[in-house]
Structure 1
């Protein structure tokens, strides 16, 4: 793969001073470097394409090379670009390797989107260590390690971390409690990191999607009957009476990550058709 190195822009001595009014010291979406996990399909793919359409340079991370290549190909006509990086973010050394690759390719990191997730259903009494471990490793541990590795680079650029949670985690979710617990844990990390990193000029926000039309159920090998039952339950609990689209979540991610949102941190924005308040 051809390596492209782009020099980092100059930053202020005090990262907290970077605002939307500071001109070139806070770059716009065009030319920003964005790292997105779980970028091969669904919300991750839509988010990668949304950033690329605005001229960003995206490192698309995922376990499977083929979907990542498809994501990159879809962005071929835009001003930005998407570079696939196939890796399992739960493996030892991969969070460090992902950030290292982004910096080696583009010279900087402006936005980290922790999107990758594993859903594993089950009622209390059915769990095993083997069924719980992948959800904890992907949904909680990997974002911690990736963010930790990216922070020094985000500090230099006045960057942003966007965590992808779930609005259902703010309510009871029988038979999916472990998944919901990992996502509510990610929301607590969002709030805590927002306070911890504010003096370093790094913002941390989260987007909490509700019922979104994505292939995640297919990836879990669910039967058509189970998928239909899930969708019916989701629509019944969504006041707007429909499933959301991945692009609608991507819009929220790009807006919260934009320089014009420079005074927004620590928030968890539901994109759920009113499910949380309904």
Structure 2
């Protein structure tokens, strides 16, 4: 799965999952360009950093027009604060959808000519939230569901020149895990709900992204690859076990 000399753009690649993806591509020999709204945090990811807000269509088009070449695009930028639907305005929810769905569309369209010439690929970073109820992040879950569908449509429209796939990512341990899961005991408790017994590392997501972008996946397009450690144990099983014990 070597990518020696190929140019890879990772959006939102300065921390967390994005930084892990950028490191994985660099380790595979790629020339990595990381773009985000803010400069990298320490330790910074490898490659060149470009300040870019992916919601700014004009800036996005200018950025890609200035690139001499592009082989792989990883649409990673995204996220959302935890906020119940009734506790925020429609405008706030719309901004979440803009970042997680419309921005990847804008970026992909801006990158299309480069990728078509290179017969390259796009990797969308989706989420398990797009395939199940997502209380507290409903707009985010809806956007990720749309992103997965968008990738499938792109894979058909842009074939055979550009491959498009999605990583459906579960819980990942990053430098900000405490904001979602609490202290180390909280992280451990959450990890026990995962069949593989741990949260993903950013490098796990990065390795999967490298695979989908590599020649090893040359016949894979329009696919959704779960990276979630086996998913979530069905709640009814625990409920039934607890009932039997009582």
TM range (shorter): 0.7 to 0.9
Q: Residue 239 of structure 1 contacts residue 273 of structure 1 at CA under 8 Å; is this kept in 2?
A: yes
When the two structures are superposed, what TM-score results if normalisation uses the length of structure 2? 0.86
Counterpart of 1:79 in structure 2 is: none
Q: Residue 109 of structure 1 contacts residue 154 of structure 1 at CA under 8 Å; is this kept in 2?
A: yes
Counterpart of 2:214 in structure 1 is: 258
Deviation string, structure 1 residues 115-174 (Cα, Å, up to 9, x no partner): 011212222322313421331221111100110011111110110000000123212222
Counterpart of 2:182 in structure 1 is: 227
What is the rounded CA distance, in whole Å, between the counterparts of 2:42 and 2:149 in structure 1?
30
Q: Residue 35 of structure 1 contacts residue 61 of structure 1 at CA under 8 Å; is this kept in 2?
A: yes
What is the rounded CA distance, in whole Å, between the counterparts of 2:92 and 2:189 in structure 1?
24
Q: Residue 165 of structure 2 contacts residue 222 of structure 2 at CA under 8 Å; is this kept in 1?
A: yes
Q: Residue 60 of structure 1 contacts residue 68 of structure 1 at CA under 8 Å; is this kept in 2?
A: no
| More off after superposition, 58-67 vs 257-266 | 58-67
Equivalent positions of 1:96-115 (< 5 A) are 96-101=61-66, 103=67, 107-115=68-76
Which sections of structure 1, spanning at least 5 residues, go unmatched? 1-19, 21-27, 73-81
Shift in CA distance, 192/87, structure 1 to aligned 2, threshold 3 Å: same
Equivalent positions of 1:49-64 (< 5 A) are 49-64=23-38
What is the rounded CA distance, in whole Å, between the counterparts of 1:238 and 1:143 in structure 2?
29
When the two structures are superposed, what TM-score results if normalisation uses the length of structure 1? 0.77
Deviation string, structure 1 residues 187-212 (Cα, Å, up to 9, x no partner): 0001111111114x110001111010
Q: Residue 11 of structure 2 contacts residue 18 of structure 2 at CA under 8 Å; is this kept in 1?
A: yes
Q: Displacement of 1:241 after TM fit?
A: 2.4
Counterpart of 2:173 in structure 1 is: 213
